[in-house]
């Protein structure tokens, strides 16, 4: 199973979990499930999280297009 890169991107961009939940309009439980348990949310949630961080979905979820983008 390929791990998502949400936590790495969130830290790189200096977002707290709370700030991300507010910017993306998702619950804290959703962010925890994604970061801790590698949960793959639905397309709408993936799109909102990626938009809130200003990166492509593929940058966070490597199975998506644009998976070569990595936080440095």
Q: Where in the chain are the domains? A: 6-60
- Domain topology for 6-60: 434 Repressor (Amino-terminal Domain) (1.10.260)
pLDDT score at 69: 59
Whole-number Å distance between alpha carbons of 42 and 66:
18
Mark 38-61 as b/e (b = at least 16 C-beta within 10 Å).
eeebeeebbebbbebbebbbbbbb
* 8-53 confidence digits (pLDDT tens): 999 999 999 999 999 999 999 999 999 999 999 999 999 999 999 9
Q: Confidence band (pLDDT; 50, 70, 90) for 70?
A: low
Whole-number Å distance between alpha carbons of 55 and 1:
22
**Do residues 27 and 20 lie in contact, with contact meaning Cβ atoms separated by under 8 Å?**
no
Whole-number Å distance between alpha carbons of 41 and 38:
9
């Amino acid at each position: 199973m390929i791990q998502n890169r949400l936590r790495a991107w969130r830290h790189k961009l200096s977002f707290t979990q709370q700030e991300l939940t507010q910017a993306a309009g998702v619950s804290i439980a959703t962010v925890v499930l994604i970061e801790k348990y590698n949960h793959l949310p639905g397309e709408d949630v993936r799109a909102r999280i990626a938009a809130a961080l200003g990166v492509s979905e593929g940058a966070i979820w490597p199975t998506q297009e644009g998976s070569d983008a990595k936080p440095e």
